[in-house]
Every structure is written in structure tokens, then in C-alpha cells.
């Protein structure tokens, strides 16, 4: 499901079963991320699928990338793998107005 920035942030804030998934590259991830996110680079192809298959399907997945197209693709892939609740951030991280953090080394 595609959600606006505001709807995505509001749902996330009120969802105790949320899992934030960042599907950007390592370089993009190192430029900043949404706090609490886990990074699995969609460009890793089969590696992305292997990593996603290890995730808990009972969680609600809030997925983002830089602009919103890779995360939409990730949500579609996850749906095919049996994930029922995936939420794509329209506009991606480049339009994110919420809190940001940097990965810890």
C-alpha cells in the first residue's frame, strides 16, 4: 500500500508491530536514515530476497528508499513472498520531514 509521508509517519508512530525497512544502497544509508530502520539493499537481487525471507511475516513493514520507486518494488516482492502488510513511503527519504539518524559504525 502506498502512503503519503504524513500517513506513513502517523501509522508508524501508532503501530507497536512496526518494522522499518530501508531498501537503499549502503552509500545512501550512510547519508542518513529513519531511526530504527533496518537496511536491506534491493539492488542485491537474490541476496535481497534471501534476507527478506528471514523476516517475521507477522510484522507490519514500513518500506522506504530515496524516492519511492524501489520501495514500491520491494513491497511488491514482499507481497509475492507472503508478507501481508507492507507500506510504501511515497516520495521516499528525500522528502522525509521526520526525525533522521545516522547508522552507527
Query: Could you give the residue numbers annotated as active site?
Result: 65
Grid coordinates in use for 11? 501509522
Question: Could you please report the per-residue DSSP string of 43-78?
Answer: GGTHHHHHHHHTS-TTSEEEEE-SSSHHHHHHHHHH
Distance CA 43, CA 87 (A): 19
Quick one: DSSP state of residue 42?
A: G
Distance CA 6, CA 15 (A): 14
Residue 62's Cβ-side half-sphere holds a number of Cα atoms within 13 Å equal to 25
Amino acid at each position: 500500500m502506498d502512503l503519503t509521508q504524513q500517513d506513513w509517519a502517523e501509522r508508524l508512530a501508532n503501530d507497536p508491530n512496526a518494522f522499518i525497512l530501508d531498501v537503499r544502497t549502503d552509500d545512501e544509508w550512510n547519508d542518513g536514515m529513519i531511526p530504527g530502520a533496518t537496511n536491506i539493499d534491493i539492488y542485491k537481487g537474490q541476496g535481497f530476497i534471501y534476507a527478506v525471507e528471514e523476516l517475521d511475516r507477522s510484522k507490519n513493514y514500513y518500506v522506504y528508499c530515496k524516492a519511492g520507486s524501489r520501495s514500491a518494488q520491494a513491497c511488491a516482492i514482499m507481497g509475492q513472498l507472503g508478507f501481508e502488510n507492507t507500506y510504501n513511503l511515497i516520495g521516499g527519504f528525500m522528502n522525509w520531514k521526520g526525525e533522521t539518524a545516522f547508522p552507527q559504525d
